[in-house]
Amino acid sequence: MNSSIDFFFDKAQKWHDEFDKLRAIILDCGLDEELKWGQACYSYQKKNIVLIHGFKEYCALLFFKGALLNDPEGILIQQTENVQSARQIRFTSAKEIVKMERVLKAYIYEAIEIEKAGMKVKLKKTADFKMPDEFKNKLDKSPALKTAFDALTPGRQRAYIYYFSQPKLSKTRAERVKKYAKQILSGKGIDD
């Protein structure tokens, strides 16, 4: 137990009991505890295994390489279709967590073994993502924009493709592409 992050658990109002139960289970599996991204994060030999986080409707354990876990209980959840590696187990009560302790420990131990084995999640390449027509057309018409986009890191490219793909209306997608063209030409990511 890392007392320097006790405040994270003390400030938890809605999920206080649930966080305490999850913390005890995880620490019983021999993981190191620290605060990362504002969440209680647990690692094995400095490799992230799982973190605890809370939302309005539920709290969850997030397994960083959850896509590699066997899921005999069918409890792992992919938050959105774009999340490639991480998977959650969600809870709405401390009672659920207590009831699932044995299963949770089994998943945590398996996640540790995956890390020990050095397994990696095979991530999609940028080309595997469907590019919205509005952006593809803009790239076809502007060689400079295409060159600038191709020079971005794969993560920045995926962020743009994802952002441009979200609106249902073509007009809105086109407006987003137009708005961010200068930023792409400047070699910047969507959040830079």
**What residue ranges do the domains of the chain occupy?**
3-116, 126-185
Query: Residue 81 has what pLDDT?
Result: 76
Burial 130-157 (b: 16+ CB within 10 A, else e): ebbebbeebbeeeeebeebbeebeeebb
Query: Residue 186 has what pLDDT?
Result: 95
Residue 108 confidence (pLDDT) above 80: yes
Q: How far apart are CA 176 and CA 160, in angstroms?
A: 9
Residue 122 confidence (pLDDT) above 90: no
Burial 58-97 (b: 16+ CB within 10 A, else e): bbbbbbbbbbbbeeeeebbbeeeeeeeebbbbbbeebeeb
What is the tens place of the pLDDT at every residue in 127-142?
Answer: 777 889 999 999 999 9
* Pairwise pLDDT comparison (43 vs 159), residue with the higher score: 43
Return the C-alpha torsion angle 20, 22, 27, 33, nearest 10: -80
Choice among 22-26, 82-86, 118-122, 171-175 with the minimum mean pLDDT: 82-86
Residue 42 confidence (pLDDT) above 90: yes
Two tokens at 15? Answer: 């999920």
| Over residues 116-137, mean pLDDT | 88
Query: Residue 57 has what pLDDT?
Result: 95
What is the tens place of the pLDDT at every residue in 140-153?
Answer: 999 999 999 999 99
Q: What is the CATH number of domain 3-116?
A: 3.90.1150.200
Residue 154 confidence (pLDDT) above 90: no
pLDDT interval class at 191 (50, 70, 90) = confident
Residue 8 confidence (pLDDT) above 90: no
What is the tens place of the pLDDT at every residue in 51-88?
Answer: 999 999 999 999 999 999 999 999 999 987 778 899 99
Query: Residue 104 has what pLDDT?
Result: 98
| Percent of the chain whose pLDDT exceeds 90 | 78
